[in-house]
C-alpha cells in the first residue's frame, strides 16, 4: 500500500542526505525528519517482506481463520445460543474477540524475536543508527511497521469472517483500529522489554505465561462471568480484555461512550509507556 | 543456550565414553540392522541423551513452562466453555465437556511437544550449532543421533504427559483404570510424531520451512475432533480426518480415560507403531546421507 510512496522517497533520499553530510559544517548535523526516518525503517521491513511474505501467510492470516472455523463453526455447533453468548450464534459472538486475540498473538513474534534479532543477530539496528537515523527513530519505525502488519492481518481476517457469515454488522469495521490499538498496547512494551535483553531465553515464557493466559482468560471465548472472581482484576490489567470489550461492543452496538474512552485511554497509556521506555532502552543500547 | 552448550557437549561425551569405543554394533539386534546399515549405529545413543539433559538443565524454565500450555487450555476451555456446552457426544454416550476435551488436549500436547522438539531443536543443532558434526567426530553414528534425540523427546513428552494426567485425576476427569495406559500411549504418540518430525527436519532448508510444520500441526490440532465430536462434519470431511494421526491419538486417549476401550484401540496403536518406524528409518538414513557425505 505505502509501497509506491516509500520507494519513491528512497530514490531521492540518499542524494539529499549525502549532500548534507558533505557540507563542511559538521557531519550528521542535520538529520532526517522523524516521520521520514520512521518510514525509512518501515521501508527496510517492507523490502524484506515483499520477498518473504509467503513465510508469514500461515501464521498471520491462515491461523486465525482456521481458529474461527474450528472454534466458531465447529465448536459453536455444540453451543446453546443464549444469554452467555449475548443472544448471538457462537461464531458471531467469537469473531470480534478473535480479531483482537490474533492481533496480540500475531505481533508477539515481531515484538520479541524479530527485535532481538535486529539487535543481536542481524545487527540491523546498529546499521540503521550508523546512518543519520537516531535510535528513537529506529524504534518509531519498528512500531509503525508492527502496526501496519497488524492492520493488514486484521483487515484480511475481517474480510474472511464476513465471507463466512461470522460478521454481519458493518460497524465491525471499527473493530479493526481497536484490534490494532490492542496489539500495539502489547507490542510497544514488549519491544521496550526486548531492547533490554541479552539472551532470548524469556520469550517462550512470555508467550506461555503472558500471551496465552491473556488470550484464554479474558472473556474472548466465553463471558468473564464464567470465571472465578479473583481472575477478573487480573484480566483488567491486560490489554486484551480492554480490546475485546471495545471490539465486541462496537460490533454489537453495545459500547457506551465513557467505558469506551476508559478502555482507549488505558491502551494508549500502555503504548505511551512502551514508547517512553523503548526510547530510553534503544538509546542506551544503540548510542555510540 | 544451545549454541553455547554445543561447544561443551563433545567434552562431556568424551568423558562419558571413557571405555575403549566399540564402533561395532552390539550382538543380538538382528532386525534393526537389516533395516539400518551397521556402520551407522554404535549403540551409544545414551550419551546424546546425557547431552540433552545437560543442555536442558540450564534452560529448565523452557522445559518447565511447556507443562503449563495444555494446562491453561484445560482450565480455560474445559471449565469456561463447559458453561456454554454441558454435554458432548463421547465414546460411550454424552459426557461432560471437560472430560471430553481433556484427553484430546493431552494427545495434542504430546504431538506439539514432540514435533517442536524434533523439528526446531534438531534443525538448529544440525544446521547452526553444528552439534551433530561434533557428535560424529566421536564414536557415534547417525542412527545414534536419531535414536538419542527421539528418546529425549520421549522423556520430555513423558514428563509433560505424566503431569497432565495427574492434574486430570485431581479434577476428577478420569473415569477408568484404563487411564493407567494413557501415559504409555502418550509416549507412543510422541514417538510417532517425533520420528516423523525428525525426518521432516532433515528436509528443511531454512527457518521459513517451519511455517510448513505449523501448517501441518495447526489444522491437526484444531480439526481432529479436539474440541468437538467428529459428527459435526459432513461425511467426506470425517473420512479425511479419520486418516490423520492426531485423530487416532485423541480417540485412543479418550477411550482410555473414559474407559470405553474396544479392539479399535489396537488399530490406533498400530497406526503410531508404523508411523514411528517409518520416521526413524527415514530420519536415520537422511542424517547419514547429510552428515557423512
Closest CA to B188 of B219, B153, B148: B153
Tens digits of residue pLDDT in A145-166: 999 999 999 999 999 999 999 9
d(CA B261, CA B92): 10
Nearest to B222 among A67, A199, A201 (CB): A67
Flag whether pLDDT at A6 surpasses 70. Answer: no
Helix then strand count (H, E) for chain A reads: 14, 0
- Reading the block at residue A192, the C-alpha cell is 521496550
Q: What confidence category does residue B112 fall into, taking pLDDT thresholds of 50, 70 and 90? A: confident
Nearest to A226 among B62, B83, B228 (CB): B83
Inter-chain touch A226–B219, beta carbons under 8 Å: no
Please check whether residue B61 touches A, CB under 8 A: yes
Q: Does some domain include residue B23?
A: no
Q: Which residues constitute the domain of residue B167?
A: 59-291
Q: In whole numbers, what is the pLDDT of chain A averaged over residues?
A: 86
Q: Average the pLDDT over each of A136-150, A252-266, B143-157 and give the range with the smallest value.
A: B143-157
- Total domain count, chain B: 1
d(CA A177, CA A184): 10
Tens digits of residue pLDDT in A9-28: 343 344 444 444 444 444 44
Residues of B in contact with A58 (CB under 8 A): 211-212, 214-215, 218
Inter-chain touch B232–A63, beta carbons under 8 Å: no
Tens digits of residue pLDDT in B2-14: 433 333 333 333 3
A50 or B44, which is more confident = A50
Closest approach of B43 to chain A, Cα-based (Å):
33
Please check whether residue B237 touches A, CB under 8 A: no
Q: Does some domain include residue B140?
A: yes
pTM beyond 0.90: the answer is no
CB B229 within 8 A of CB B147: no
Closest approach of B62 to chain A, Cα-based (Å):
7
Q: Chain B residue with minimal CA distance to A216?
A: B76
Domain locations in chain A as residue ranges: 63-286
Please check whether residue A201 touches B, CB under 8 A: yes
Tens digits of residue pLDDT in A89-145: 999 999 999 999 999 998 998 899 889 999 988 898 998 988 888 899 999 999 999
pLDDT value of residue B275: 93
Average pLDDT (A42-61) is 84
Residue ranges of E strands in B92-138: 93-96
Residues of A in contact with B68 (CB under 8 A): 208-209
pLDDT over 90 percentage in chain A: 52
Q: CA-CA distances (angstroms) from residue B257 to A183, B98, B178?
A: 39, 12, 6
Q: Does some domain include residue B54?
A: no
Q: Does some domain include residue B173?
A: yes
Closest CA to A39 of A3, A69, A67: A3
Interface mutation target, options A54, A68, A75, A201, chain B, most CBs of B under 10 Å: A75
Q: Does some domain include residue B154?
A: yes
Q: Chain A residue with minimal CA distance to B231?
A: A74
Flag whether pLDDT at B20 surpasses 70. Answer: no
Nearest to B211 among A55, A66, A90 (CB): A55
Flag whether pLDDT at B162 surpasses 80. Answer: yes
Amino acid at each position: 500500500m505505502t509501497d509506491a510512496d516509500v520507494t519513491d522517497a528512497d530514490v531521492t533520499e540518499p542524494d539529499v542526505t549525502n549532500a548534507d553530510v558533505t557540507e563542511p559544517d559538521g557531519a550528521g548535523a542535520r538529520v532526517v525528519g522523524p516521520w521520514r526516518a520512521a518510514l525509512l525503517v518501515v521501508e527496510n521491513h517492507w523490502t524484506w517482506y515483499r520477498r518473504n511474505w509467503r513465510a508469514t501467510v500461515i501464521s498471520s492470516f491462515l491461523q486465525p481463520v482456521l481458529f474461527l472455523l474450528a472454534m466458531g463453526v465447529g465448536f459453536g455447533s455444540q453451543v446453546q445460543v443464549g444469554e452467555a453468548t449475548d443472544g448471538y450464534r457462537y461464531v458471531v459472538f467469537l469473531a470480534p474477540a478473535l480479531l483482537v486475540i490474533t492481533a496480540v498473538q500475531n505481533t508477539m513474534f515481531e515484538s520479541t524475536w524479530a527485535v532481538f534479532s535486529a539487535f543481536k543477530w542481524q545487527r540491523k539496528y546498529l546499521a540503521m543508527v550508523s546512518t543519520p537515523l537516531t535510535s528513537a527513530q529506529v524504534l518509531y519505525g519498528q512500531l509503525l511497521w508492527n502496526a501496519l502488519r497488524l492492520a493488514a492481518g486484521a483487515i484480511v481476517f475481517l474480510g474472511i469472517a464476513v465471507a463466512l457469515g461470522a460478521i454481519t454488522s458493518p460497524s465491525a469495521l471499527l473493530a479493526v483500529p481497536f484490534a490494532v490499538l490492542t496489539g500495539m498496547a502489547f507490542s510497544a512494551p514488549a519491544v521496550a522489554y526486548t531492547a533490554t535483553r541479552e539472551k532470548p531465553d524469556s520469550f517462550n515464557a512470555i508467550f506461555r505465561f503472558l500471551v496465552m493466559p491473556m488470550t484464554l482468560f479474558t472473556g474472548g471465548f466465553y463471558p468473564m462471568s464464567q470465571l472465578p472472581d479473583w481472575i477478573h482484576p487480573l484480566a483488567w490489567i491486560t490489554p486484551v480484555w480492554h480490546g475485546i470489550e471495545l471490539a465486541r461492543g462496537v460490533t454489537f452496538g453495545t459500547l457506551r461512550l465513557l467505558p469506551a474512552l476508559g478502555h482507549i485511554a488505558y491502551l494508549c497509556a500502555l503504548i505511551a509507556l512502551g514508547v517512553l521506555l523503548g526510547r530510553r532502552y534503544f538509546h542506551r543500547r544503540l548510542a555510540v | 543456550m544451545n549454541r553455547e552448550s554445543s561447544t561443551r557437549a563433545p567434552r562431556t561425551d568424551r568423558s562419558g565414553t571413557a571405555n575403549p569405543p566399540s564402533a561395532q554394533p552390539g550382538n543380538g539386534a538382528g532386525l534393526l540392522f537389516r533395516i539400518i546399515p551397521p556402520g551407522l549405529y554404535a549403540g551409544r545413543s545414551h550419551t546424546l541423551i546425557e547431552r540433552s539433559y545437560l543442555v536442558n538443565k540450564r534452560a529448565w524454565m523452557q522445559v518447565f513452562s511447556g507443562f503449563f500450555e495444555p494446562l491453561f487450555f484445560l482450565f480455560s476451555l474445559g471449565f469456561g466453555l463447559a458453561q456454554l456446552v454441558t454435554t458432548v457426544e463421547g465414546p460411550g454416550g454424552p459426557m461432560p465437556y471437560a472430560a471430553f476435551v481433556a484427553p484430546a488436549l493431552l494427545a495434542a500436547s504430546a504431538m506439539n511437544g514432540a514435533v517442536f522438539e524434533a523439528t526446531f531443536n534438531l534443525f538448529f543443532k544440525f544446521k547452526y550449532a553444528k552439534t551433530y558434526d561434533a557428535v560424529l567426530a566421536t564414536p557415534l553414528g547417525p542412527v545414534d543421533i536419531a535414536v538419542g534425540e527421539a528418546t529425549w523427546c520421549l522423556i520430555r513428552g513423558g514428563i509433560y504427559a505424566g503431569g497432565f494426567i495427574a492434574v486430570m485425576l485431581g479434577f476428577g476427569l478420569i473415569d477408568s483404570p484404563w487411564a493407567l495406559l494413557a501415559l504409555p500411549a502418550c509416549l507412543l504418540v510422541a514417538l510417532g510424531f517425533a520420528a516423523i518430525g525428525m525426518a521432516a527436519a532433515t528436509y528443511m532448508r531454512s527457518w521459513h520451512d517451519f511455517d510448513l510444520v505449523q501448517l501441518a500441526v495447526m489444522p491437526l490440532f484444531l480439526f481432529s475432533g479436539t474440541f468437538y465430536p467428529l459428527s459435526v462434519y459432513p461425511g467426506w470431511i470425517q473420512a479425511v480426518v479419520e486418516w490423520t494421526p492426531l485423530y487416532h491419538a485423541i480417540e485412543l486417549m479418550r477411550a482410555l480415560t473414559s474407559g470405553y476401550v474396544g479392539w479399535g484401540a489396537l488399530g490406533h496403536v498400530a497406526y503410531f507403531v508404523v508411523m514411528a518406524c517409518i520416521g526413524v528409518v527415514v530420519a536415520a538414513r537422511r542424517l547419514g546421507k547429510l552428515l557423512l557425505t
